[in-house]
Structures are given as structure tokens and as C-alpha cells.
């Protein structure tokens, strides 16, 4: 069973090697995390806020939509599509939570 939550990644120690071995922890845009049910101790450690899948998806979609809009609006006059991709990388793609 997957759990959905939000937690701000503070860097080193946020997810330890032993925690990764214990279960699945997947990060998504907007500080959204999808974890196995047995990762509740990790959720407590990082002060995660539990979300429904729908709430988590709404957060992810909003962040991705904002990134896509920023990408669309970041234009240089006379620049080709290929040059834009070289400069900015590919346009952010939609993300659907598992």
C-alpha cells in the first residue's frame, strides 16, 4: 500500500541508506513523497504531512504546470526550438503519481 505525503528535503540524512533498503521512497515535484506503508517511521522522522493521492497529485500538477509555463515563457528572439531545448533542456513533462 502506498502512502502520500509532503516533507521538505533538508539534504544529508533526509533519507538514509538503511531507510532506502527498508522500503520504497520516491520523490516528486512539490516536495511530494510516495512511500511504502512500512515507511511510517521515516515519515515521523521528517515530520511529513499525510496527503490523499488526490491532494498529492494536485500539488505535483501545480508545480509542473508552473514549470511548464515558465519554460514556455522563456524565449529568446530568433531562437529555434532546438536552440531553446539546448539552452533550457526539455520542457518539463506531466507527472502522474502511482
Quick: pLDDT tens for 36-50.
999 999 999 999 999
- What is the reported pLDDT for 38? 94
pLDDT at 65: 98
The pLDDT-based confidence of 54 (bands split at 50, 70, 90) is very high
Model pLDDT, residue 1: 86
Cβ(97)–Cβ(34) under 8 Å? yes
The sign one gets for the Cα dihedral 15, 17, 19, 25 is: positive
Residue positions counted in the chain: 98
pLDDT band at 6 (very low <50, low <70, confident <90, very high): very high
Check residue 18 and give its pLDDT: 95
Other CB atoms within a 10 A radius of the CB of residue 44 amount to 9
How far is residue 27's CA from residue 1's CA, in Å, rounded to a whole number?
Answer: 16
Q: Are 2 and 71 a contacting pair, CB within 8 Å?
A: no
Amino acid at each position: 500500500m502506498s502512502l502520500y505525503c509532503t516533507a521538505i528535503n533538508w539534504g544529508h540524512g533526509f533519507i538514509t541508506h538503511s531507510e532506502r533498503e527498508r522500503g520504497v521512497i520516491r520523490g516528486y515535484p512539490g516536495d511530494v513523497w510516495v512511500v511504502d506503508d512500512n515507511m511510517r517511521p521515516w515519515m515521523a522522522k521528517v515530520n511529513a504531512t499525510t496527503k490523499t493521492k488526490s491532494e498529492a497529485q494536485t500539488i505535483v500538477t501545480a508545480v509542473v504546470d508552473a514549470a511548464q509555463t515558465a519554460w514556455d515563457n522563456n524565449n529568446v528572439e530568433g531562437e529555434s526550438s532546438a536552440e531553446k531545448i539546448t539552452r533550457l533542456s526539455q520542457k518539463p513533462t506531466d507527472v502522474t503519481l502511482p
